[in-house]
Amino acid sequence: MAANTIELNRSRYNFDGVESIWLFGYGSLIYKVDFPFLEQRPARIDGWVRRFWQGSHDHRGTAEAPGRVVTLVEQPGACCRGMAYRISPTVFEHLDEREKNGYLRFSTTLTFYDASQTEGLVYIATEDNEAFLGHAPEADIARQIASAQGPSGLNAEYLVQLAEALRDLGDNDQHVFSLERLLTT
């Protein structure tokens, strides 16, 4: 699959007659909210873990030296905490552009902190996209993050801001926090 997924995403869902939809954010969508929303609530999705396995050559790196950003990887019994936003479908014009580097929108069940649930969408970069980097030793991932920089800034800033946002949510994401420790040692 091509890294640029704008047109794929725009053909995946028909929003005719839909006034609002929930979107789950688990990476920069937690702390860089550059889009209008109608409501915001902490939430989780089950069966997924957050991993720095997606390459970024358009935001936190370049084609010659890609950075690493998070995607979701299936893991039975796991849960990924993040932030849910109720948005107008028109917001996807902006979000599809922002998340174009290999991310596709998928349907998911969101569980809010009060245990209520709803259906929503989430962007996931699957292993079949051109920018997917996959698993690597955490020390190697941290070195790549430490050296990468792109149009949106230092890749290290992305990691640190995500770690801070997860602490604010009360999430203990060992993968993210381990990378943060490696980055600062």
- Contacts (Cβ under 8 Å, ≥6 apart) of 20: 38, 86, 87, 88, 89
The Cα–Cα gap between 47 and 156 comes to 27
State yes or no: is 119 an active-site residue: no
Identify the H or E element spanning 85. Answer: strand 67-87
Q: Which two tokens stand for residue 22?
A: 């929930």
Nearest alpha carbon to residue 82 among 116, 42, 49: 42
The pairing of beta strand 21-25 with beta strand 117-125: parallel
The Cα–Cα gap between 20 and 4 comes to 25
Catalytic one among 7, 93, 99, 164?
99
Give the phi and the psi of residue 53 in degrees, each rounded to 5. -115, 0
Residues taking part in catalysis: 99
